[in-house]
Structure 1
């Protein structure tokens, strides 16, 4: 009987663990399915640029269910990395299997790449070389949840949008400025659900504590108990979003934000607060500052410049020329270089280099304005590297770890009326 009791105890324990694991897994899966971040959903399916570490990726944003905050950026067809490797893979599989789906896909991709002038018009599938040593093709970048600490921003540049998309954004902003009764009610319901989530989290933790205590292994193995508690927290974390009264009353208003940017510097921006969640804050209509570099041989800018200072995938920035070298004067053991802003916008010059010599400038240049920078030594026809910042209008999602809303940039109507009344 003793042996039978021991066996029954182990069977009961096994059933306990299986049922409990199944219940927790089911709850977690259901919650994750409906837990796409409400800020990230604003940009889902849209063309964006993300800064991840020191690299940038451009393409359409997709958020798989149950991704735990991860997402994927799909490059546009004309920005596929190493398309020959993709075609070679499809041709090789067709040759090995005789499955026409590989051939049809190869034809479709080749036709699209020819249309985009990525491949020569006279290239045929029979000309595709199968080379195991060639770099692999790449059509997307997966961003895993454990990489989110390296995520600095998800940016939607306005100048990359169609006219219809820009009109849609302004329509979206008008609704924020003047929300309807239905929109306000929807917002209140969502925030109420977020509050219920917090209460539910406490209730479930309290309710499952006795159940956890009845499992013999939980008392003898602390790591098992911790795993159960972690599963509870993770499962409930995705339900609803954080309600923050200091941000809630700023939705649709001009705000000032402090950002830890991709270059490691802290910068101040302003824009319209669109939405917030536990993990992200979205701000629309931001004049985002991008770092650019240009390389000159004497007074002539070299081909391919200006270009971004970071490595970019899925996009080629066709920047117009912003800075012209007006003159290079050598005399009295010095070289003086005059830079002129030929763009229609303000540009901030950061630094200039000649060989191993570097000069910090940190000056704003208005359109048609010039500045002279002097280097030691008389250098004939020098190679000049210039780093500067330009701005582009954008809608941006920042991780909460990289941004802080400092305050409002304008008065709400009720506050303004009260202030004007007291003056």
Structure 2
């Protein structure tokens, strides 16, 4: 596309995509190939030396995946992106170039349960550690940062409760410390929230969710803002110092604003191998084409259902930030001006057993461990996605035993309300 500034609805369809040069196919083909023929020996050498951009092997780069990378980067306002096999993979890919043994990351207490486990347990095997802090308190975030901290991590709209993070306040803290802010934008999507505009250095996605939108494939993505100076201090040697595997290439010098993106491909995907397959990229590309249309409907349905639940005597409370009663409602206009997404929790009177009965009684809502689907979904986080956490961690994440999480889909909203009504009646009987 040209340098003309296009609207979001145009970019979600066209960004990164061009007619196939061989056939003229308008849809991006699925390039189901593991390897690519070099023009000659000199061409191959330049590719391996990072002197020329092109395709070598699909663990690193693939033409179908490349289109998706460009599209997501464009929608987020970044300079580049690296797609990978899942949202969890994206989180490791985001940390890999900036962390070293003995270093830590300061993270929000309000995170998806699997992310809490990844950060509190799994990353220890890399010699990394995480400090969990309430991100509603920027001073506490600042106090948690020490000389070994290499990043700050949060979710724009937190899973499961739908709490909104004041990204401007948190990015001010990370900027003052000279470290990157990494924002998981899965729940909001770039249509509802653009973290880079609020100071984020990197944005991660589980493309499995709203970006694909139909529950068909898993995937992840790391978007690089291109705005961070990796040479401002000596904290990020992988990007600011000579890389032995590429004859002393300094990524920050050679690739400038694209340093992180090239490192993610040339080293991250090369050595970690968490590659997105081209068919998954194809499905996600098709999903992005309707992103704005879907998100508008998700938000509209979520607002009506949250209001209905809040007025119901069988419900203790609803966490949806789009409600005027929410302590996060004042952040909607600033962080998510087009709506507070469609993921939230509500507490059922009767506690754990009532939640289980509710989930088992629903007919339209699907009981699955996913979100961001066209279908409405529900899960009892304390017994599933957050089961591995302690009771204290569950409460901090907004996933207590009396709470269910809903991801509101695109069905007729009156049908969804009727389904919740009959299930609540059975749960409270």
Q: Do the two structures share a fold, i.e. TM-score over 0.5?
A: no
TM (normalized to structure 1)?
0.23
Q: Which has the larger radius of gyration?
A: 1
TM-score normalised by length of structure 2: 0.22
